[in-house]
Structure formats: structure tokens, C-alpha cells
Amino acid sequence: MMTVLDGVVMELQDCALPLLREVIATDKEEVAFKDLDIAILVGSMPRREGMERKDLLKANVKIFKSQGTALDKYAKKTVKVVVVGNPANTNCLIASKSAPSIPKENFSCLTRLDHNRAKSQIALRLGVSANDVKNVIIWGNHSSTQYPDVNHAKVNLQGKEVGVYEAIKDDSWLKGDFITTVQQRGAAVIKARKLSSAMSAAKAICDHARDIWFGTPEGEFVSMGVISDGNSYGVHEDLLYSFPVVIKDKTWKFVEGLPINDFSREKMDLTAKELIEEKETAVEFLSSA
């Protein structure tokens, strides 16, 4: 793949990006991972037709074990690691477990694409800009069991901040089609363009990384897959689960004290159950990888 990578380097150079100093194309871990401040792990084994989820996990455990080990060996201990390659939550957990000298809190996985999808669906429904919608939440796994939650979301309508449920006035849409549209958006994109999300995924990675670096705006929170230890929402410890977080000084914190209704509780538990199963399968493979 090195020649393909050379083509990517040419494209990056041809963008004439003002902040780009240098690009190093390599297939050697000791070069790629050396002294990193941030690692964005986008490569994973994609699911092929007829492939069991278990086979997918097995192939990815191998990849993320080796990347975690390389991070542990070569990167700065302050490195921030963002996992994008799917199944992102469990891949991220495996990378973290394979890098014991790097704090667990430094590992996160991308659910910002789902977050942005939820935001834009609300904006489209109300005929406002996506910028006018804030504090949507993606709970759980970056899979079709994720729970897009707008119980705490706000929208700016003619300069006034209103709750999303109040603004939309259609609870059955919010509890039905809205949720399934966001959950299955990735599959819808693949069906339409015969390729998975590219530009929207890249934009979400930039949003995620920028927020880690520069923090979240006052009064706003974002969704991010992070280690569940110490959460107050009844989610099992030692899972890589998407939560609402605020970020300051490159450190994230759970958004605390959000009331959770029965509808939300059920959806949050369902996606946690899937993550527990994935984790158990992956950890089995990890010991033999």
C-alpha cells in the first residue's frame, strides 16, 4: 500500500495547507508512532459480506493490539488516541488494554459523526442551521444500537433557546423515525453511494480532535466514546461507551446529573449489553492474539 500512500501525500501537498509542515509516509510502527501527541487510528478490517461479527472482532483485535503495543512503546505518555476504525468502541478498548502505560482516559472513539447526524436531522426538521442545535447526545456503541437522545438538546429559534421536544412538537417522530434514521445513517450512505461515509467522517474526526485540543464551548457538551469508569449513569465499568462530555485543558469530564427517563434507560441498557458482549468476545481473542 505504500504507493497508494504516496498518492495521498501528493494530494496533501497539493492542498497547499497553511498549517501543514511535513508528511511522513511509512509502514513501520517505530516511525509512525514515535513521540506522538495525537494518534488517529482510522484503519480497521471492514466487514465483508457473509462475515460474522465475531470474525470481524477477531481480525480487529489483532490490529488494535499491535497498534496499542506500538503506542505504549513509542508514543508520548500524554498522547491522545482517537479510534475511528470499526467496531470503534471495542477496538479502542483493545488498544487501551494493550497500552498499559498510557492513561485510559487518553483513549476515545469517534461517535461525533452520529452526534453530527442527530444534530443535522433536528436542524433539517426545523429549517434552521445545524449550528442552532446543541447538546444532542449519543449514548453507547457506534453501531445500530446507539441511542441518539435529544431530551436535553436545545435549539435556537428566532434568538430564543427552546428544548427540542418543545420545538418539534412531534414526540412519535422523535422516539421513532428520528432515532432509526440516525442509527442507520451509515448504512443508508453506503446504499446510496456504494461507499461508506468519507467527507462527513473526516469532518467529525476534525471536530472531535479540535474539541480535545481546545475544549468545548461554555454551556455545550459533545458525544465521545470514553472509558465508563466512574460514570453516574449506571453503565458498567470498563466499557468504552459514548457519553456526553465537556472538555477543558485537554481533559474530558462526564456531564453529570442529566435526568434519565424510562424510555432512555431501556435504550442505554440495550447498547451497553451489546458492548459487554463485544468486549467479552474481544478479550477472549486478546489473550490468544
Cα 178 from Cα 186, distance rounded (Å): 14
97-145 tens-digit pLDDT: 999 999 999 999 999 999 999 999 999 999 999 999 999 999 999 999 9
User: Rounded to 10 degrees, what is the CA torsion of 127, 131, 132, 135?
Assistant: 120
Helix axes 262-288, 53-74, angle to 10 degrees: 70
> Of 109, 139, 154, which one is at a domain's C-terminal end?
109
Question: Is 131 part of any known ligand binding site?
Answer: no
Check whether residue 129 and residue 101 sit in a common domain.
Answer: no
Give CA–CA dist 197/208, Å, rounded: 16
pLDDT tens-digit series, residues 75-95: 999 999 999 999 999 999 999
The mean pLDDT value for 264-273 works out to 98
Give yes or no: residues 159 and 141 share one domain: yes
Residues 120 and 234 grouped into a single domain: yes
**Residues spanned by the domain of 31:** 1-109
The answer as to whether 287 is a domain residue is: no
Burial of 3 (0-12, 13-18, 19+ CB in 10 A): exposed
23, 84: one domain: yes
Q: Is residue 288 part of a domain?
A: no
User: Among 60, 75, 109, where does a domain finish?
Assistant: 109
pLDDT score at 53 = 76
Residue 286 lies in a domain: no
- Is 225 one of the annotated binding-site residues? no
Is 48 assigned a ligand-binding role in the annotation? no
- Identify whether the C-beta of residue 271 lies closer than 8 Å to the C-beta of residue 146: yes
Q: Annotation-wise, does 141 bind a ligand?
A: no
- Whether residues 128 and 263 share a domain: the answer is yes
Where do we find the cell 435504550? Answer: 267
Q: Are residues 74 and 124 in the same domain?
A: no
The reported pTM is 0.96
Are residues 56 and 23 part of one domain? yes
> Do residues 92 and 158 share a domain?
no
Residue 160 has pLDDT above 90, yes or no: yes
Catalytic: 152?
no
Is residue 59 one of the residues assigned to a domain? Answer: yes
pLDDT score of 46: 82
> Helix 112-126 crosses helix 185-193 at what angle (to 10 degrees)?
80
Residues 142 and 54 in one domain: no
* 163 labeled binding residue: no
- Residue tagged active-site, from 115, 142, 152, 208: 142
Computed over every residue of the chain, the mean pLDDT equals 96
Residue 94: count other Cβ atoms within 10 Å of its Cβ: 29
Q: Which of 83, 109, 135 is the last residue of a domain?
A: 109
At 40-80, the pLDDT tens digits run 999 998 877 777 778 889 999 999 999 999 999 999 999 99
The total of structural domains in the chain comes to: 2
Task: CATH number of the domain at 199, please.
Answer: 3.90.110.10
Residue 27, domain CATH: 3.40.50.720
Return the pLDDT at 287.
85
Whole-angstrom CA distances from 135 to 90, 243, 282 are 25, 11, 32
Asked if residue 166 belongs to a domain, the reply is yes
Q: Which residues of 18-30 are buried (b: 16+ CB within 10 A; e: fewer)?
A: eeeeeeebeeeee
Determine whether the annotation assigns residue 117 to a binding site.
Answer: yes
Say if residue 81 is in the same domain as residue 153: no
Q: Look at residue 196 and tell me whether its pLDDT is greater than 80.
A: yes
Least confident of 5-19, 49-63, 170-184, 200-214: 49-63
For 5, 25, 28, the CA distances from 31, given in Å and listed in that order, are 15, 9, 5
Predicted confidence at residue 15, as pLDDT, reads: 97
- The reply to whether 289 falls in a domain is no
Query: Residue 80 in contact with residue 110, Cβ under 8 Å?
Result: no
User: Do the annotations mark residue 112 as ligand-binding?
Assistant: no
- The reply to whether 259 and 121 lie within a common domain is yes
Q: Residue 50: what pLDDT?
A: 76
